[in-house]
Structure formats: C-alpha cells, structure tokens
C-alpha cells in the first residue's frame, strides 16, 4: 500500500478519522484525514487528491496535496 509507506517513520497510521470521494465534473476528489504516530507523538494528516480514471478503472491522472503533520490531541 503506497499510503502506508509514507508514514512509517517510527510509527505509522493509527486511524482513519474521515474520508470522502465525490465527483467533480469529469474528475473525482478524494479527501481523507489520518491519525499518524511517530517518535514525536500523534499527528493529524489530511490529504486531498483530484484524479481521473480510464475506461479500465485505473487512475490515469492525479494531483495530490497534503496539509502536513499537524500536532493533535487524539
């Protein structure tokens, strides 16, 4: 899993707090918020992606943005 490998520095993903996936004209928008742990504590990380799939269902285009590690009291 690609997403899991992004958050392995001394911890990992502890929980998925929210997720949504919706249509935006011909593309889709995926937004999710994770609770991530590392040696410095627990953090909230929100990521948002816009993507488009081909006829076979595979992603053919994607742009992604991350809010970064936000200190959290979770």
Query: What was the pLDDT predicted at 1?
Result: 44
- The torsion angle over the Cα atoms of residues 13, 49, 68 and 34, rounded to 10 degrees, is -30
Query: What was the pLDDT predicted at 31?
Result: 97
Provide the b/e sequence for 19-41 (b: ≥16 CB within 10 Å): eeeeeeeeebeeebbbebbeeee
Q: What is the residue extent of each domain of the chain?
A: 2-71
pLDDT per residue, tens digit, the chain (74 aa), is 445 556 656 668 899 999 999 999 999 999 999 999 888 889 999 999 999 999 999 999 999 999 988 997 75
């Amino acid at each position: 899993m690609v997403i899991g490998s992004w958050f392995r520095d001394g911890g990992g993903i502890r929980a998925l707090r929210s997720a949504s996936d919706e249509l935006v004209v011909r593309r889709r928008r995926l937004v999710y918020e994770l609770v991530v742990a590392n040696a410095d504590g627990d953090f909230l990380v929100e990521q948002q992606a816009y993507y488009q799939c081909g006829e076979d269902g595979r992603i053919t285009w994607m742009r992604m943005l991350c809010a970064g590690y936000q200190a959290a009291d979770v």
